[in-house]
Structure 1
């Protein structure tokens, strides 16, 4: 569960831009603006959603703080002030017997690129779960939506560090393995249009996934995955609606391509960030960079499905 190799010469599907998020609470905080040109330093905080409920949901949040400089340490700073402005939000879901912090090579880099990344530790599938139950994955899409609603409330809560900093109409969902199935399950019929894009890594879809509203989707899969066969991911890609891309890593397994230093890591990181900048910041330059950033001869292949009338990437 680490960073993924995303491919995305993504077909062209325009995610319509919206105005500033509606839940602003502090007029001193600038409204939503274009994608940042330079990286941020990263802060981190933790909280629990519904701590007294039947499914407490511990959450780790990485977010942009003041501008990065070469002298700064790479480690996120606990409870550092959030940078000025509003930032799109990515809900990142871990796989079986994993934890949010095991995805830090990916999530912290997304935060540095100008996103708030909220990663829940699911109650019965995380590494430390006392009553681990694989079947509980079916309940996790609802947990993801519970987290989204909680974040929308935080943005409007006076005094909360995230208040006024979340672009609450610009969410994406992403996840690896069981977290990929969780992500797919959040795109059911009638889901809120707040959820604008999805990234499914080494996962697939279940019944009811990928219904409207249509959102761009990116699938990433190792060609020799022994845990979730690539055919499962390709079947989900075939069933998805609207613009979609499938990035395959021939000969690779269930997630080694998500590890810094492994073949394709740099391309995965760049392409993933491009995808999020395109779909959440309406950054068309990032969309146009996707083909070059995603593809590495001998390491990745890419299949795309464009909207009618739109050109396919070369």
Structure 2
């Protein structure tokens, strides 16, 4: 979420269940302009994937225009059976300070029945102010942590007894991975609810590389995984998703998988690794800190009072 406030101005707002290709391209252009100005994306990878490929159940796109020009965008995802709908929004850098963010926020509140969660990626002060104006309160902090990979000194990881590693095979391992991912992230609605369509979207992305997607098996059964990602433009390696099946935790598998992925990224010649972790997940934060990660920035999620 990034934004703006102040003077009223004539504007139009459309809410669509799906975006035609030209509309999706316009939104991507807006996001690119905002990212150049802000130094980071205002809409998550999942949100950007939802821009194309037709309608998605529970997903709405809000497009705000002034004189026919797109100046703001918001996405509302109402797919969680328990949690309030989640949103992300952005205003074009050249059109901030005119109340467009507040208009998008008000539209999101109306569309969600005033049950709303909103991400502020990077925790920009303007986004914090907008959350306050909309009557939202902070309830989640997601840390981005980083560590250098240059001169990485991590020895070959020791796997728990009976565990072997291999690379993910698209089309063969999809169902098994989705099942373990759902188990490992049952407490995490965004990650744990990934579907075959979500996996297909990622497998079709230019960055997807199964050689950096490690599966841990015991007696032919998937017990954990580490999916790495390379951000080629930024020359960043990412601990994209790392999970261990419940029941296989506590034996050092998580650390071994983390080290395996970091060694893979270092071998690719990448200077830095990054990952995301909830600030209140003290155990995970502690593990990553012991592996040399430090907090780089924090994403904030705000919500209406419940």
For this structure pair, what is the TM-score category when the shorter chain's length is used for normalisation?
under 0.3
State the TM-score, normalizing by the size of structure 2: 0.27
Structure with greater helix share of residues: 2
Greater percentage in strand: 2
User: Per chain length, whose mean CA-contact separation is higher, i.e. which structure has more relative contact order (CA < 8 Å, sep 6+)?
Assistant: 1
Q: TM-score, normalised by structure 1?
A: 0.26
Query: Which protein is bigger by CA-based radius of gyration?
Result: 2
